[in-house]
Amino acid sequence: MSTEIPDGEAVILFDGVCNLCSGFVQFVLPRDTDEKYRFASLQSDVGQALLAEHDLPSDELESVVLIEDGESYVKSAAIIQIASGLGGVYRLLSPFRYLPRSVRDRVYDFVADHRYRWFGKKDRCMMPSGDVQSRFLD
């Protein structure tokens, strides 16, 4: 794992103790065949630095965040942007960007508010292994 924040690379920040969020990362990894995305937990030093750099609150760990091309995407916008970046059938989520963000994020917030109860919580952040370890930032 690297502690250096990469310039010009897309980074997905996720709640490292959330089973749903870790599952999302496990979903993205094999589908990101171009290795476009790097990953860091919101709780990590790198995650906190990226949040601060993009003027995002560092104490609210309830959103997947995508940092890409100098822009930051949160909540439903992040999910839609990541799906579009994966290409293929996942691009079918792209039209949802035309729904009002307030509607999309209301659904996102509902799931986020219940994620620990529905999917559980880990004692500590997910530790990557094998070939994907180099794609995670510490």
Distance of CA 123 to the CA centre of its chain: 19
Strand, coil or helix: what is 77?
A: helix
pLDDT category of residue 5 using cuts at 50, 70 and 90: low
Question: What is the model's pTM?
Answer: 0.85
Residue 87 tokens read as 């290409």
Q: 3-state class of 38 per DSSP?
A: strand
77-110 pLDDT, tens digit each: 999 999 999 988 988 888 888 889 999 999 988 9
* Tokens encoding 125: 């952040």
